[in-house]
Amino acid sequence: MSFRTIEWRDNKVIMIDQTRLPAEEVYNEYTDFQGVAEAIRGMVVRGAPAIGIAAAMGVALGAREIIADSFDTFYRQLENVCDVLGRTRPTAVNLFWGLERMKRVALQHKELDLNSIREILKAEAISIEAEDLAICKEIGRHGAALVKEGAAILTHCNAGGLATAGYGTALGVIRGAHEAGKNIRVFADETRPWLQGARLTAWELMKDSIPVTLISDNMAGWLMKSGQIDFCVVGADRIAANGDTANKIGTYSVAVLAKENRIPFYVAAPISTLDLKLANGDLIPIEERSSEEVTKVQGVTIAPEGVKVRNPAFDVTPARYITGIITEKGVVRGDYETELKALVGL
């Protein structure tokens, strides 16, 4: 990849600042977990897998800051670090998956001295990042097989290299099809209010010379109706046991329109995005973000002062609208309840 989303280097966490793309390609350095928590909350890093990696790296930084003389004291403080990181964004389950994995690794090594545990936590965070890249490539390989030669593909938000360790989930499918020599074209929804599609998806696809056309969100339906879209693929922030999927606000509308127009609608996500404890999508917490994201575009006010605003950052697409869920272990379709459980060996 021609950019690095997140990286551990010299005991610092380095992240490309996604709030400044595409105008500026700036890398921020974080030396403490509070900084990483702020970066997640402020969307310097965003996208479910990427915030899972950031949270894990935040825990590794936090572990270095803890002063303790026993494992129990160390672990209590590590739990506090995880609580701070866990309060940043509620919807993407990968964040909590990353935190739980780091706590489990600490507990598994409780007999070791604290410095060894700190090193093990650092190594774990680095390997979560490396694994994510490999997982995205597998998602890309499975998904590419579903894409027909010459397909026009619609995607929403950014489920790309910027939302993962690299390569992406939905954009992994697109990259996989492109690398397989299929002559694909992408339509990127701009994705109001934060403009992940316009600012990030368009930027990273252009960098890779993958043909991309930007549309505003309200154009997707008409393009589908007039036969200009063949395939839809999006990422996910949390997938419930029955296949209901939370993803960026606007995904539900895309899915309903795709069904109405008989266009396949796929979700691409790693297994770490499954939350099989939740029976259905009604139980997924939906983040509500600041009203300013709606009343302003790139700092310019576009609405009357004092107007009431809603800003749910995600919606839930019922499983019946989803043609299939593309994971690193293969594509699941039909009876999600049974198939998703089988995927994780339950």
Q: Is 237 a catalytic residue?
A: yes
The C-alpha atoms of residue 251 and residue 246 are separated, in whole angstroms, by 8
Cis amide leading into 22 (omega within 30): yes
> How many positions of this chain bind ligand MRU (CB under 6 A)?
17
Please give the C-alpha separations between residue 20 and each of 24, 47, 67, 143, in angstroms, as whole numbers: 6, 16, 35, 30
Q: Mapping DSSP to helix (H, G, I), strand (E, B) and coil, where does residue 330 land?
A: strand
Per the listing, tokens 């490309």 go with: 16
Report the amino acid identity of residue 118: R
Q: Mapping DSSP to helix (H, G, I), strand (E, B) and coil, where does residue 27 land?
A: strand
Per annotation, catalytic residue among 237, 244, 275, 315: 237
Q: Which of 58, 86, 133, 164 binds ligand MRU (CB under 6 A)?
A: 164
- The structure tokens listed for 219 are 């154009």
The strand pair at 231-234 and 265-268 is best described as parallel
Binding to ligand MRU by residue 48, rule CB under 6 A?
Answer: yes
CB of 131 to ligand MRU, least distance (A): 14
Stretch that binds ligand MRU, among 6-14, 201-209, 224-232, 235-243 (CB under 6 A): 235-243
Q: Mapping DSSP to helix (H, G, I), strand (E, B) and coil, where does residue 209 land?
A: coil
CB of 40 to ligand MRU, least distance (A): 9
CB of 305 to ligand MRU, least distance (A): 26
Residues 162-173 as b/e (b if ≥16 CB within 10 A, e otherwise) read bbbbbbbbbbbb
Dihedral (CA of 58, 82, 71, 65) sign:
positive
Q: Which of 196, 201, 242, 323 binds ligand MRU (CB under 6 A)?
A: 196
115 is in an annotated binding site: no
- The structure tokens listed for 235 are 């990422």
- Residue whose CB is less far from ligand MRU, 62 or 235: 235
Q: Which residue is nearest to ligand MRU (CB)?
A: 235
140 is in an annotated binding site: no
Per the listing, tokens 């494992």 go with: 71
Stretch that binds ligand MRU, among 27-35, 40-48, 111-119, 137-145 (CB under 6 A): 40-48
- Binding letters toward ligand MRU, positions 310-329, x by CB under 6 A: ---x----------------
Binding to ligand MRU by residue 169, rule CB under 6 A?
Answer: yes
Q: Which residues pair with 231 in a beta bridge?
A: 153
Stretch that binds ligand MRU, among 96-104, 113-121, 163-171, 182-190 (CB under 6 A): 163-171
Binding to ligand MRU by residue 201, rule CB under 6 A?
Answer: no
Residues interacting with ligand MRU, by CB under 6 A? 46-49, 92, 157, 159, 163-164, 169, 196, 235-237, 247-248, 313
* Residues annotated as catalytic (active site), given as ranges: 237
